[in-house]
Amino acid sequence: MSDPQVDRRMSVDKGQPTFQVIVLGPTGGPREDNITGLLIRSASTSWTKGSVVAVDAGTMLSGIIRTLEPHMTVSEDGKASVTSGPFAGLQLPHSTAKANAAYIFREIIAAVLITHPHLDHLAGLAINTPIVEASNGPKTVAALPSVIAAMKNHMFNDVIWPNLSDEDGGAGLITYQRLVEGGNPHFGRGELRGYVRACENLLTKCLSVSHGRCKQQYHPETGRHHRVGSGVFTAESMMVPPSFSVDHSDAGRLYSPTRARLSSASGSSGKETAWATVESSAFFIRDGPTGHEIIVFGDIEPDSVSLEPRNRRVWEIAARKVAAGTLRAIFIECSFNDSVDDNSLYGHLCPRHLVAELRVLAERVIAVQEASSPRSRGRSSKRKRHDSDSGSPRSARTTLPQLSGRNPNHTNEHKPNNEHEVNNNANLNAIVEEEEEDNNQASPTPPPLAGLAVYIIHIKDTLCDGPHPSEQILQELRAHSEAMGLGCQFYVPKQGEGIWI
C-alpha cells in the first residue's frame, strides 16, 4: 500500500497547481500506522513557518518520517536536503528523518483541523503533542464545539491522556479553536463570508455532516456528551426501534435537526432504543490567491439512511463552486465495497452510496448551470407557462440516469400522472423541439462533474491475502459513475503520496 515515490501532479486549467496535499495516512484501519491524516498547503506558498495545515491526525509523525526518509540526502557537513518527493524544497535543520519530522510538526504545521473525535482521526495528535516546545507556542486544534468537547472531556483529561491543552490548568501545548458550524458570519464578505484562516494563504469553513448513530449526544450548555434518554435529553431524544430502516423518500419528513420521536414499528419487541447522530465535518479549504477550493470530508454516512440527512447542504454549496470551476477536488471516504449491506456500514459509505451522493451534487450543478444560462433566462417567461409543479421539461430531460446495481432505500423513479401529461402534451413537445433545435446548434455539454477529482480516503483494510480492497472499490466507483454520466475522476492515494491539484 505504501509507495512514497509517487508524486502526482494535476494541472489546473493547463496552468500551475493550486494545492499540494501530502497523504500521511489514507486508510480507516485496522493498522494503526496508516490511518487518516493529510497535510495541505497553498502551492503559491514556500515552505515557511505556519505554511501547512493538517486535516485529521490519526497518523502524523510516523507518516512524516516515512515520507521523508526515502528522499533525504545528508552532506558531509551533516546538513540534510530534500530534492524529490512531497517535501522537495523544504530546508531541513537536522540530519535524521525523525528530528526533521519533529521540526515539521512544531514549526511548519500551523494548525490541525479535526473532523470528528474518533481515535483513527486524532490518535497521532495525542501521542505527538508532547514534543511541542514552549518557544513555538501552543499548537492550534480547530474543530466544531462538539468535537472539541469530546477531546477535552474524554482524551486530554488527565485520565486517558494528560491534559495538554491550555484550558482547565493543562500543560498549554495545544489551544482549542471552536469553529462556527456553517462558517463564522462575522468574517469575510461575499464568497469569503464565513471563512477563517487555516494557515498561510489558506482559509477554511466547516459544515457538519452525519457519521452514523450512537447513544451519546452533545449538549452545548454543559459542553459534554450525555447518554440519550438521560435527564438532560428526556424531552428531545430520538427514539428508534433497534431494527428500524429508513426510506430516503421519507427522510426529510421523519428526521429534522430538531429531532423527532418515533414509535416502535409494529411487529417489533416494543422496546425503544434512544439514538443520536454522531457529528462529523466537511472542511472547505480555500486558496486565497486563486479562490480555488477543495473539500475534505471526515467519516460520513449517506443521507438515504441517516437519522439527520446533512450531506445535501454541503452539495448545495459545492454545486455553485463546481459550476464556477473553482472546486477542484473532493477527499471523501469510501470504507467498504458494495458487498456490505446498509446495516453493516456503521456510518460509512460504499461505492453505491458515494455515487448516489455525487449524483445529488451533479443534479445541483446542472440546476445552477441552467439557471445561469442566457437561453434559460431568455425563455424563463415561456417556461413558467408550461412548467408543471412536478418539474420543468428541461429539468426532466437533464436528469441523470439511474444508478446501476443495488441502491437500497432510495429511488428517483418518476411516476407520471398520465392525465396531466396528456393534457400538457402539446406544450411539452413545443419546448422539447425548441431545446433540441438549440442543442443541435450548440457544442455538446460536458458531464456535470467533468474536471472534478475525487480522492478516496479511509478505506478499511481487510488484512487478507490477495488484492487490496481499494482495487474493487475503485472499480465499482468507476462503473457506477460511468453508468450515471457524472464525469468525475476517482483516485485512491497512497501513504507518502504528494498530490498537486
pLDDT in tens, 343-370: 999 999 999 999 999 999 999 999 999 9
pLDDT in tens, 425-479: 455 455 445 555 555 555 678 999 999 999 999 999 999 999 999 999 999 999 9
259 has a pLDDT exceeding 70 = no
In this structure, is residue 482 part of a structural domain? yes
pTM given for the model: 0.82
In this structure, is residue 162 part of a structural domain? yes
**Mean pLDDT, the chain, integer:** 83
In this structure, is residue 416 part of a structural domain? no
Task: Give yes or no for a contact between 474 and 456, defined as CB atoms under 8 angstroms apart.
Answer: yes
The H helix count followed by the E strand count for the chain is 13, 20
Task: Give yes or no for a contact between 338 and 286, defined as CB atoms under 8 angstroms apart.
Answer: no
Tally of structural domains, the chain: 1
Give the span between the Cα atoms of 473 and 463, in whole angstroms.
15
Q: What pLDDT shows up at residue 134? A: 79
> 416 or 319: whose pLDDT is higher?
319
In this structure, is residue 396 part of a structural domain? no
- In the structure grid, which three cell numbers stand for residue 193, read together? 463570508
Query: Mapping DSSP to helix (H, G, I), strand (E, B) and coil, where does residue 200 land?
Result: coil
- What does residue 296 show for φ and ψ, rounded to 5 degrees? -115, 115
For CA atoms 460, 463, 468, 469, the dihedral sign is: negative
In this structure, is residue 20 part of a structural domain? yes
The CATH number for 61's domain is 3.60.15.10
pLDDT in tens, 403-412: 554 444 443 3
Task: Give yes or no for a contact between 121 and 58, defined as CB atoms under 8 angstroms apart.
Answer: yes
DSSP state of 135: G
> Percent of the chain scored above 70 by pLDDT?
75
Residues spanned by the domain of 107? 7-371+454-500
Task: Give yes or no for a contact between 102 and 108, defined as CB atoms under 8 angstroms apart.
Answer: no
In this structure, is residue 270 part of a structural domain? yes
Cα–Cα nearest to 53, from 288, 279, 291, 317: 288
Q: What pLDDT shows up at residue 394? A: 37
| Lookup result for grid cell 505527538 | 128
Strands 109-113 and 52-57: parallel
In this structure, is residue 87 part of a structural domain? yes
In this structure, is residue 388 part of a structural domain? no
Q: What pLDDT shows up at residue 232? A: 77
